[in-house]
Structure 1
Amino acid sequence: MTAELRVLIVDDDFHVAQLHKAYVDAVPGFAALEPVGGGEAALRAVQSLRPDLLLVDVYLPDWNGLDVLRGVDVDAFVLSAAADAESLRKAVRRGALAYLIKPFTQEMLAERLRGYARYRRLLDTDAVLDQEAVSRALRQLSPGNAGAKPRTVTEKAVLEAVTRVPGASTAAEVAAAVGMSRATAQRYLSSLVEEGSVAVALRYGAAGRPEHEYRVRAE
């Protein structure tokens, strides 16, 4: 995943929408589309612009924003002053990946967006996921939880395989050392890169495409 993630803001308050647009644009890897102010406009914009992520308010002039979630097939956060439990439950039932109560700080939204970017990177694979990979991806969506849980046995084995090599290792070399597929090793290595334990660079050979190489990040 190398392209910027495109974000559509749905909020009928022009000033709030522009503020949130500025918040999104300030986060590396994200680009905010021009905001829209209602549910019908949101549906049209999703169909024509194909955003990666929707940031939708509950209180819209034509629709309840939670009904927008039911009408689109796109990842979404709810950003709203609606602080009742039923709105939260309904948002979760309809697929919201985050729920932020207005007003919130720029850093609070940025933290959620960075977690969403990690979630997307971890799932940017055609390989079959195991339960550890699923759990790690979902943890990225909860602030402060991405690195809170202890390492699994497999994570420790992958990190130890990288640590044992004086120089750098490719995913194939780590896979051979641990005894797993290259695709699985790649997923764990990507996670370690995301949390900052491992650094990644390109290895250029005499011929063919360059490979990613991994080494333990110096303190």
Structure 2
Amino acid sequence: MTEDLRVLIVDDDFHVARLHVAYVEEAPGFTALDPVGGGEAAARAVQTHRPDLVLIDVYLPDWNGLDILRGLDVDAFVLSAASDAESVRKAIRRGALAYLIKPFSADMLAERLRGYARYRRLLDTENALDQEAVERALRQLHPSDGGGRPRSVTERAVLEALTRSAQPSTAAEVAAAVGMSRATAQRYLSSLVEEGTVDVALRYGTTGRPEHQYAPRRPGGGSS
């Protein structure tokens, strides 16, 4: 994806809505649409502007935000002071990808937005997904789980192939070393780049055509 992800904020408190607009605008790769203050306005805005993501409050003047959520048919986070377990369960049942209890920090929302962007990138493919690819995409929505999460056997094999190589490797070279298709190797490498475990650089081969080469990231930020 090359265009910014467009975010619609639904909150009847003007000052809170503008604050959340500022949070979104500070996140690379995201653009905030003009916020709206009610459920009916949210439904119209979704139909008109087709946002990628909606950030919706529970307490709205005309509708309960969780009732609106069920009919929007768009990715959504719930941002609300509603902290009861039933609201959280209902939000998840109705499709919320995240639930942030007000007040929350700009860093917390930024972290969730970064995870959502990774989730979208991993699912932005015309290829059929295997179960590991689905699990990897879903994990991006919960970035606090990312640091110590166990790796799949295939993911470990891709990393080991890169580590064994004395030079940066292409996706085709990794695929050959592990015994998988180039497209599958590319998906795993892209995921590892997103989480910061692997570095990628564009280099020109003897044919003059550029190719991506991958290498494990060393502590301190440099690649091997």
TM-score of the superposition, structure 1-length normalised? 0.94
Taking the aligned partners of 1:209 and 1:8, their CA distance within structure 2 comes to 41
CA distance in 1, matches of 2:91, 2:33: 23
Does the 8 Å CA contact 1:25/1:31 hold for their aligned counterparts?
yes
Question: How many angstroms apart in 2 are the aligned matches of 1:37 and 1:71?
Answer: 17
The DSSP-based 3-state class of the residue aligned with 2:212 is strand
User: Secondary structure at the residue paired with 1:169?
Assistant: coil
Partner amino acid for 1:7?
A: V
Partner-residue secondary structure (3-state), 1:121 = helix
Asked if structure 2 preserves the Cα contact closer than 8 Å seen for 1:78 and 1:91, the reply is yes
Q: Deviations over 1:62-91 (max 9, x none)?
A: 111112211111100000111112111111
Cα deviation code 1:151-190 (max 9, x no counterpart): 2211111011112222221111111111111111111101
- 2:55 alignment counterpart: 55
Correspondence for 1:203: 203
CA contact (8 A) 1:11 1:17 kept: yes
Between the aligned partners of 2:36 and 2:208, the Cα distance in structure 1 is 46
Letter in 2 for 1:166: A
The Cα offsets for residues 121-164 of structure 1, whole Å up to 9 and x where unpaired, read as 11121222122111111111113112322222111110111122
For 1:13 and 1:207, how far apart are their aligned partners in 2?
59
The amino acid that maps onto 1:181 is: S
Task: Write out per-residue CA displacement over residues 100-133 of structure 1, whole angstroms, 9 at most, x where no aligned residue.
Answer: 1111111111111111111111112122212211
Is structure 2 residue 194 aligned with structure 1 residue 194? yes
Taking structure 2 as the reference length, the TM-score comes to 0.92
Q: What is the CA distance between 1:209 and its match in structure 2?
A: 5.3
Runs of at least 5 residues in structure 2 that lack an aligned partner in the other structure: 220-224
Structure 2 residue aligned with 1:35: 35
Q: Which stretches of structure 1, 4 residues or longer, exceed 6 Å deviation after superposition?
A: none
* Aligned partner of residue 62 in structure 1, secondary structure: coil
1:14-40: CA deviation from partner (whole Å, max 9, x where unpaired): 000000010111111111111011111
Work out the percentage of aligned pairs sharing the same amino acid. Answer: 78
> Mean Cα displacement is larger for which, 69-78 or 123-132?
123-132
Between the two proteins, the alignment pairs up a number of residues equal to 219
SS of equivalent to 1:34:
coil
Gaps of 5+ in 1: none
